[in-house]
Amino acid sequence: MWTVLDTVDFQCCYKFISLKLSFQLIWECKEVLQAAKTVKLYYQQMVTAVMSKQERENFNFDLEQYEEDMEKMLDVSIVQVGKCYLLLVTYVLFHVK
């Protein structure tokens, strides 16, 4: 006697779920990076709007930590893209006939 569970390829299901979660994380990273770019530009525009020309020339926006955080987010996104690629290649090599 067999059951439905006997016919399910759990490894394939795991890879599909993992792939779906990776794509979701990539999409969220992309959205955060786009929003961060918009916020940075808005901040720079607001700061320069209240300064005189001479103050603007000598002003340092001091956004180093902000940009480091965005680089980390980009790194996470790139790693997830690599994982998605590996999962897709593995699936194609071992499951497509």
Question: pLDDT tens digit string along 41-64?
Answer: 998 888 888 888 888 777 777 788
Comparing CA positions, the residue from 41, 39, 61 lying closest to residue 51 is 61
Instruction: Please determine, for residue 28, whether its predicted confidence score (pLDDT) is greater than 80.
Output: yes
Domain total of the chain: 1
H helices of the chain, where?
4-7, 10-49, 53-58, 64-95
Residue carrying structure tokens 């779906």: 20
Q: Does 10 fall in a domain?
A: no
Q: Does 58 fall in a domain?
A: yes
Q: Which carries the bigger pLDDT value, residue 26 or residue 2?
A: 26
Q: Does 84 fall in a domain?
A: yes
Q: Does 76 fall in a domain?
A: yes
* Structural domain harbouring 51: 25-95
User: What six digits make up the tokens of 10?
Assistant: 């759990």
Where b means 16+ CB within 10 Å and e means fewer, 7-28 reads: eeeeeeeebeeebeebeebbee
Q: Does 60 fall in a domain?
A: yes
Q: Does 54 fall in a domain?
A: yes
